[in-house]
Structure 1
Amino acid sequence: MKFGVLLDDHLFPEWRFYYLDYNELKRQLKVRTAANPQGKFAEQDEAAFVEILERELEKVASFRALKSDELERRVAHAQAAVDSILSSSDKPNETRMRAVEDELNKIATEMTELSKFVRLNYTGFMKILKKHDKHAGFQLKPTFMVRLAHRPFYKEGDRSVDSLVIRLSRLFDIVRTGGIRPPAVLPGGASQNFVRHTTKYWVHPDNITEVKLIILKYLPVLVFSSKGGKEFDPAITSIYLDNDAFELYLGRLEKTEGAEAIRIRWYGNMDQQEIFIERKTHREDWTGETSVKSRFAIKEKYVNGFLSGTYTMDKTIAKLRDRKQKSDKELDEMATLSREIQLSMLKRKLHPMDFLGYGFDHEEDIVRFPYAVLEVKLQNQAGSESPKWVTELINSHLVEEVPKFSKFIHGVATLIESRVTMLPFWLPQMDKDIRKEAPKRPPTALDLPSSSKRHLSVSPSVEVIIDRPSSVASTSRPNGPVSERTPLLARQEEDEEEDDDEQEQQKGKKSSDKRFPWRSLFASGSGTSLHIGAGGSAHPNAFLNSMIARENAGRTLQQQKRIVLPVRVEPKVFFANERTFLSWLHFCIVLGGLALGLLNFGDYVGQISGLIFTVVAMIFMIYALFLYQWRAHKIRNRDAAPYDDRFGPTVLV
């Protein structure tokens, strides 16, 4: 689809005259090149085109700034209206609350449209600059990118958008609950064990704002604060542990029974004094147990000692027991968990995988994860269904399900790929566009009134987490060239090269992607940034080129790596193996009973026959046990080889 058609299909009708006039710019480009005998721009043509482009930029940037200020004022006005309603009487006025709710819905809708407005216009500018540089004979893009740096409508107020989302979430929550404000959530909560059904989805950068605004209409944004009244920080930092053999990585990747993941986690800023050490244990369905996450809190100053084995939690647990801050059962579980984790770390020689040393420190060497990660955690009561809005969201075009996705597995497979022998199944799919065709302006959840309090009886059992984490090893630099600081928008310029005069280039890109499936991973730019060294928000060409060189040099090695696909082993497979074993035992019992009768009541020949039958029955029993254990081992390891024994029965007969 041509970008001009795409723009017409997806623009917001009320803002039609504030979008980039892409078709007019294309017409100017075509007319002015056709008027020149050489098919290129003259100097006066270039000056006129730049002037038109400047006017378009000023129009778009001014509208973006105006609309952002308007949304800020409308949210502030809604906040004042809610405060007025709550302070006017003990019981909030439902009519006034409903009016505020309608206004919040309109604000949420316009925030979604503003996000699309920014994205479409930025893509339009990049495309028209590319066309100009290709046909006009002048290189305008480098110069115009400097101009964009002074009117950065595409990155202006990213923090303010997040702030607006949180403020909207609070207002929706007040309207939904009738003004009963929930207490602030302490980092980590009080529970040490969690048993929930978790599904993970990828969200394309184009859809992040819309997904956020849909969710906040039903669930408040979870903000962690160590002390009430302090400024919130929604960051969650995790450091995973593993050994040089990547034992935990392989266990989590293959989903073997009892596979563990051990990590250090804290909430908020880097100066947090309370750190959580967590252990996630995978359980197969056939065991009848459920995968569980367990954790305990430890002070930051004791973490290094705990990792090295020089510090134990005994003194801390004794203090908590003396102060009666936790029950004896909770403290006993905490002591057992800390000893098990520490023993596992020392026995397996685990160490933090994020603190690896690198022999270089280049800003260009950044591996970007191109999507946000949406986690949907459900803990429904028996017989109850998931909330309707959750079902509609996960079945919509906004998300793409990725079973068993793990940031730890992805980070290891991407950053330390040369040291692992197996890769996750989603890695070869990273160069594919996960966006789905959406109907032209359909009514969405944003256009509908949010649920009232009586409709949310099952909401406390739902937890939705959108991960847009920052870098794993470093943070982005605040200043830099404008062309290198557009992570949320970089992918679309490459993904939508579908104009007629770009088809040839697209073919070349596709063939290159087939040779180098990592290309779109490095060329993309939102979601998690996996940095190597202390990098900033830099252009990834250098690292991409080095990866291509490595790929050419070590293609044979790459072909030897195995992609691990998620394979679900049904419990009935184990039951079938057990039934086969019991069938063999039944035959052995019959044979043994016959032997016992001959030994007790037969003559000399009968006794000899009974003895032979006894030996045969024992051989059959031993063979049945061996066959059962052999098949059970293959099932647990998801072996794709045949499970039948072609020679055993023949030898026995």
Structure 2
Amino acid sequence: MKYGETLRQRSIPAWSHYNIDYDDIKHYIKEQTTPGKGKTVAVPGRVDEKLQQFEDTLFQILKDQHHRIDLFVRSKAGEIQRRLDHSKRQLKSLAAPATPVADRRIPVGRLERYGKLENDVLKAGDEIRSLARFTSTQRTALRKLLKKYKKWTGSGQLEERFCGDVLDDPKSFVKLDLGPLLDDYSTTLQEIRSLYDTRLRQRSGENDGAELKASGASSIITDLQAALDSGTKVAFDDAIATVPLGDSGTFASYFVHLENIVELQVLLLQYSRFMTPRSRANSHASPVSSTPQSETSARTSSDTADYYALEADDAERFAQEQNALTIIEREHQIGSTPQKAKMCVRWNNTEEARVAFQTRSNVYRNATMKKKFVSALLGRDATFSAKKAAVSAEHEADVIAAKQALEKDSSIKSLYLYSACRSRFVGINNSSQRLTMATLDTHTCIQKAEGAGGDGDKIAFPFAVLLVRQDGAVSGGMLAALDQSHLVERVRGFSMEYHAIWQTSKSPNIPPPFWLPVLDRDIRKLPPPAMKRTPSSANRTPTSSGSNHGATDSTTAVETTRSNSTVPELDTPTLRSFRKKRRRNHPHGAAQPPQQKYWSEYDHPEDGEASEAYVIYMDPNQKSAFETVFDKLGGLFSRPQKIDEEEEALLNGDATPKDSETSDDEDETNTVKPRVRSYGTLRQSHRATSGNQRITDLETQAHPHSPKASMPHFTAISYVASLVILFVAYILAATGRHKLRYQVDFGVIFAICSSLIFAIAGFASLLRQQDVSYLAWTFGIIVLVVDAIGSGGLLAWMLG
């Protein structure tokens, strides 16, 4: 499938505006590199100038696109960091004791603050996951565009130039390390949950670890919990691989694409916490390069690996035993372990080595020794000193037993060296009845080993490997979320031991593993459509099992869990809703509140009470702003006409009293009226006011059959002025001196503009008249046309 069709689906829908213009750039590259359509052909042996110019243009386009995306990614990362810092400050205020120690009650408001604070941090985690997904999508788009250009032109100069000048910059968004944000998110989320659990234990009077010491705890879970309590990474790695499964134990293996590492870690932190600080390399994405992924992973693993495992066994015997097992036996068989080899030595950069070897009863025994003596142990050196190799005197006997087990079976030899960047997860709901552990290995590298060290070529594993172990009665939780997530590909029955032995031995007696076809395809899946976050999650209180309902996402993220249920989800009420309501005393016989009535536009204003009427009055005689301006201009040149007594009687009517019928107080004020003087010559519509009623167009109402008026005086004056000014302009243009050429031209242009303004004003005044004779219309149009033609001709003459 073409990448342009899935870019918007793999990216964040709410951030689609910031996506790279993949389709447009790809079409531009294809259009410029397709032969034909009149394009010139370069001469062999000479530099193609057209191709070089196109390459420079494309480089600038990609650089601008990179800069635009980089600004958004940096601003979004800063926004997430500020939100996490704000949550930390709120956590400090929430951790302060608000009630006396003797009072073990937890206020409801404080519980709601816990829920709101946890929900804010979860939203920040969703933003981190969305940012990682958005960044990886844009990185892939850039890589594919550079690959298209190289494929269609055969030139790799653009890719080298763009990677060297833009992508190799440490400040580029393709090198963005989301590790600090992920660390702050996991630490803050764990502190909130720990604080809440501590408050609950204080309320119930329980002590830390009381549940684990309860009777009936499984011995397997006790052994695993002891490894967790030790706090060492080698003990964790050894326990998850060598402690056998219980009655309801499960091993689950997943392949993870390198671009989904950060998103997966955010999803895992919904159900677990980091056992130790995560691997720093697990927040870096693969670079944009044409180098094969295996070579890039091999280089990265050799530089940043923090977990090593050296296995020793008989390769053919091991393969024969593994091929006899079914998939169900590998994942669910009671007493099975992920480690099937006779001996395995594990160590990391900060801790000493730990040896896990099988005894005659097929039970694994552990021994802690110094890393520098691993070669002497597996090399069958006769000068091996267990006293020097052991970390302490307590472990000396275990080291001697490991050396003896190796010497008794001469077929055991070093097979391969495994190195990776490992992050370890511990379930947040672990108890005496259930326990969850997980490891995430990225940048995995396998190397054939002879003796104690690796001397063969390094072979990179194309995907990250997630191993989840659950023991006890666990329903749903992490495994259910992973099985429904698009971030992982579950491979049932996968064994890294068998794959590494087959990869390094290349023996015909060892058949290839059945998961090889998965390694040759792209395991990335399209995310499900974005779903709106339910408001109920904002009021959820963090509990020990509060994160088992699936990953919650923000409006910019994508839901990671799928549900086939069509039942709508109901909003969870707040804790305040469960308070006991106070009983209120209402007086008997109290008047019922009036029923709410909604107004409709079809209701008559006179129906019902007057206070409820909603009336919009529109004056039919209201004039526009254009007509008001002309009325004011015309009022300067008009004389108001006197209204005859007969007309006044028609206006007043029987219902309106005359001046002689008014009261004595009104007589004194109305008998003497000031004389209004007007020196205008224009005609204006008569207006009469009686009380608050205004009547317009008096002449039209009094004389409905009056003859059509001639041309208004204002129109005539405007036309005469325009023609006179135009005539003066012609004279000025004909008699102007050559010395004052610019002054004359300015005067002519000003006269032309003034003439046109007067002509337009006169014609506009003519348009406002209702009844105008045809002769006036003809004269007005002729004058307007003559003025326009004369002005245009004069301007053309003046400009030469």
Q: Which residue, 389, 405, 414 being the options, matches 1:343?
A: 405
Distance 1:116 1:163, change over 3 A: same
Shift of 1:42: 5.5
Shift of 1:431: 0.9
Q: Which residue, 247, 271, 274 being the options, matches 2:317?
A: 247
2:542 is aligned with 1:452? yes
2:88 is aligned with 1:69? no
2:308 is aligned with 1:237? yes
The amino acid of 2:318's aligned partner reads L
Shift of 1:296: 3.5
- Equivalent in the alignment of 2:269: 216
Instruction: Give SS of 1:150's match.
Output: coil
Question: Do the aligned partners of 1:200 and 1:374 also contact (CA within 8 Å) in 2?
Answer: yes
Kindly report which structure 2 residues correspond to 1:613-632, keeping only aligned pairs within 5 A, or say none: none
- Equivalent in the alignment of 2:191: 174
Q: Aligned partners of 2:192, 2:491: CA distance in 1, in Å? A: 34
2:493 is aligned with 1:401? no
Consecutive unaligned residues of structure 1, counting only runs of 5 or more, are 226-232, 284-290, 321-330, 460-653
Consecutive unaligned residues of structure 2, counting only runs of 5 or more, are 42-49, 100-105, 199-207, 209-228, 279-303, 330-335, 418-447, 550-800
Q: In terms of Rg, which structure is larger?
A: 2
Distance 1:103 1:457, change over 3 A: closer
Kindly report which structure 2 residues correspond to 1:308-457, keeping only aligned pairs within 5 A, or say none: 308=380, 310-311=384-385, 319-320=393-394, 339=401, 342-354=404-416, 356=448, 366-380=458-472, 384-418=473-507, 421-442=510-531, 452-455=542-545
Q: Which residue, 118, 122, 130 being the options, matches 1:113?
A: 130
- Equivalent in the alignment of 1:143: 161
Q: Aligned partners of 2:121, 2:524: CA distance in 1, in Å? A: 28
Q: Aligned partners of 1:254, 1:445: CA distance in 2, in Å? A: 49
Question: Do the aligned partners of 2:253 and 2:494 also contact (CA within 8 Å) in 1?
Answer: yes
- Equivalent in the alignment of 1:559: none
Instruction: Give SS of 2:341's match.
Output: strand
Once the two structures are overlaid, the 10-residue window that deviates more, 32-41 or 114-123, is 32-41
The C-alpha deviation readout for 1:596-644, integer Å capped at 9, x for no partner, is: xxxxxxxxxxxxxxxxxxxxxxxxxxxxxxxxxxxxxxxxxxxxxxxxx
The C-alpha deviation readout for 1:420-479, integer Å capped at 9, x for no partner, is: 5332222344213333444223579999678832426999xxxxxxxxxxxxxxxxxxxx
Kindly report which structure 2 residues correspond to 1:467-546, keeping only aligned pairs within 5 A, or say none: none
2:369 is aligned with 1:277? no
Question: Do the aligned partners of 2:270 and 2:547 also contact (CA within 8 Å) in 1?
Answer: no
- Equivalent in the alignment of 2:57: 48
Q: Aligned partners of 1:315, 1:438: CA distance in 2, in Å? A: 51
Q: Which residue, 153, 156, 172 being the options, matches 2:175?
A: 156
The amino acid of 1:157's aligned partner reads L
Instruction: Give SS of 1:348's match.
Output: coil
Shift of 1:199: 1.9
Instruction: Give SS of 2:137's match.
Output: helix
Q: Aligned partners of 1:368, 1:428: CA distance in 2, in Å? A: 16
- Equivalent in the alignment of 2:256: 203
Question: Do the aligned partners of 2:271 and 2:548 also contact (CA within 8 Å) in 1?
Answer: no
Question: Do the aligned partners of 2:258 and 2:463 also contact (CA within 8 Å) in 1?
Answer: yes
Q: Aligned partners of 2:85, 2:149: CA distance in 1, in Å? A: 43
The amino acid of 1:417's aligned partner reads K
Distance 1:155 1:134, change over 3 A: closer
2:232 is aligned with 1:186? yes
Shift of 1:132: 3.0
The amino acid of 1:7's aligned partner reads L
* Greater per-residue helix proportion: 1
Shift of 1:295: 2.6
- Equivalent in the alignment of 2:558: none
Distance 1:2 1:248, change over 3 A: closer
Kindly report which structure 2 residues correspond to 1:8-19, keeping only aligned pairs within 5 A, or say none: 8-19=8-19
RMSD value over aligned CA atoms? 4.6
The amino acid of 2:231's aligned partner reads V
Distance 1:246 1:45, change over 3 A: same
Q: Aligned partners of 2:457, 2:371: CA distance in 1, in Å? A: 31
Instruction: Give SS of 2:274's match.
Output: coil
Question: Do the aligned partners of 1:29 and 1:132 also contact (CA within 8 Å) in 2?
Answer: yes
Q: Aligned partners of 1:441, 1:175: CA distance in 2, in Å? A: 28
Q: How many residues align?
A: 423
The amino acid of 1:350's aligned partner reads I
Instruction: Give SS of 2:409's match.
Output: helix
Once the two structures are overlaid, the 10-residue window that deviates more, 310-319 or 148-157, is 310-319
Shift of 1:400: 2.3
Question: Do the aligned partners of 2:344 and 2:357 also contact (CA within 8 Å) in 1?
Answer: no
Instruction: Give SS of 2:272's match.
Output: coil
Q: Which has the higher contact order (CA 8 A, sep 6+)?
A: 1
Shift of 1:378: 1.1
Instruction: Give SS of 2:60's match.
Output: helix
Once the two structures are overlaid, the 10-residue window that deviates more, 1-10 or 252-261, is 252-261
Distance 1:237 1:314, change over 3 A: closer
- Equivalent in the alignment of 1:486: none
Q: Aligned partners of 2:53, 2:377: CA distance in 1, in Å? A: 71
